[in-house]
């Protein structure tokens, strides 16, 4: 089985917090009935182990480092956003929903704008909060969902990537941003904790350190033109997260699980 979403935590964001324990109990029962439960990060494995989940294996995720690359940057797209080479462009990519902690991204942007009125925030994605956020933040650029080459261009044409979520078991967008050479600010959890080396390939802050997240965004936006080494570090981190490595690990875990099942059968056969 595969554990990729913290459904028990999500219930707290939709007014059903009282169901969290029930959902968590069901998930444990379901996954413990399988021979292996795959999770994307060591931190998720630790959290589930503490809850009584068994037979957990870590299999991360990869990114297409050719599909997401700095070479897809578009001066025309930046111009459409009202940004030139000296304008810091902040980017959020993801579902616009309460469990994603989206308001923090806007708080970070407001702090950046207080220092640089020309800064831009591009919001890629859709969700139940979109209409409300558009009304509250008319200065932001809402593009709706983007895919393929268009999504890659949106990543590569920005400067700073904001990832405020605390409920992700991984967060694919973090790898896509790194592969695109963006300066990432994120909490020390999920993919960020695995793939970002603090102050080398991005900025990591302690979970729930709201002010630290905002300060990190401001620092990156203020210095983005002089952080070429950090951009290069981000790109290297993205390239290192190849799908080949992930698939090899997945196949090894499947083979190991199959052998564990076969061994008792062989031992029980009469000589």
Residue 171: CATH number of its domain: 3.40.50.2000
Verify that 118 and 77 share a domain, yes or no: yes
> What backbone torsions phi and psi does residue 55 show, to the nearest 5 degrees?
50, 55
> Would you call 205 helix, strand, or coil by DSSP?
strand
Q: Is residue 264 part of a domain?
A: no
Record the tokens describing residue 133, joined without a space: 């956020």
**Domain coverage including residue 206:** 70-240
Verify that 222 and 161 share a domain, yes or no: yes
Strand partners, 92: 123
Q: How confident is the model at residue 105 (pLDDT cuts 50, 70, 90)?
A: very high
**Residue where a domain stops, chosen among 60, 88, 110:** 60
Q: Is residue 191 part of a domain?
A: yes
Q: Is residue 37 part of a domain?
A: yes
Which pLDDT does position 79 carry in this prediction? 98
Which pLDDT does position 266 carry in this prediction? 46
Verify that 56 and 75 share a domain, yes or no: no
pLDDT greater than 90 at residue 64: yes
Verify that 38 and 88 share a domain, yes or no: no
CA distances from 247 to 107, 183, 241 (A): 38, 27, 11
Gap between the Cα atoms of 164 and 128, Å rounded: 17
Which pLDDT does position 259 carry in this prediction? 87
Which pLDDT does position 55 carry in this prediction? 95
Verify that 170 and 220 share a domain, yes or no: yes
Q: Is residue 256 part of a domain?
A: no
Verify that 22 and 49 share a domain, yes or no: yes
Span 145-201, pLDDT tens digits: 999 999 999 999 999 999 999 988 899 999 999 999 999 999 999 899 999 999 999
Are 230 and 196 in contact by the 8 Å Cβ rule? The answer is: no
Report the domain count for the chain. Answer: 2
Share of the chain above pLDDT 90, in %: 83
């Amino acid at each position: 089985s595969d554990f990729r979403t913290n459904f028990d935590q999500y219930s707290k964001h939709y007014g059903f917090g009282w169901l969290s324990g029930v959902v968590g109990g069901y998930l444990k029962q379901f996954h413990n009935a399988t021979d292996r439960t795959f999770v994307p990060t060591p931190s998720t494995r630790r959290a589930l182990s503490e809850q009584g989940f068994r037979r957990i294996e870590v299999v991360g995720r990869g990114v297409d480092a050719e599909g997401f690359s700095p070479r897809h940057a578009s001066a025309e797209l930046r111009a459409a956003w009202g940004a030139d080479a000296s304008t810091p462009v902040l980017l959020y990519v993801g579902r616009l929903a309460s469990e994603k902690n989206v308001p923090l991204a806007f708080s970070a942007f407001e702090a950046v704008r207080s220092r640089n009125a020309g800064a831009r925030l591009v919001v890629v994605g859709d969700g139940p909060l979109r209409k409300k956020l558009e009304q509250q933040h008319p200065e932001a650029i809402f593009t709706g969902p983007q895919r393929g080459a268009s999504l890659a261009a949106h990543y590569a044409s920005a400067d700073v990537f904001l990832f405020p979520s605390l409920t992700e078991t991984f967060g694919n967008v973090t790898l896509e941003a790194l592969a695109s050479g963006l300066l990432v600010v994120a909490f020390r959890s999920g993919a960020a904790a695995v793939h970002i080396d603090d102050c080398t390939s991005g900025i990591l802050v302690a979970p729930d350190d709201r002010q630290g997240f905002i300060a990190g965004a401001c620092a990156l936006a203020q210095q983005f033109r002089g952080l070429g080494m950090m951009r290069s570090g981000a790109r290297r981190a993205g390239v290192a997260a190849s799908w080949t490595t992930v698939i090899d690990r997945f196949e090894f875990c499947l083979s190991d699980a199959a052998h564990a099942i076969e061994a008792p059968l062989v031992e029980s056969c009469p000589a």
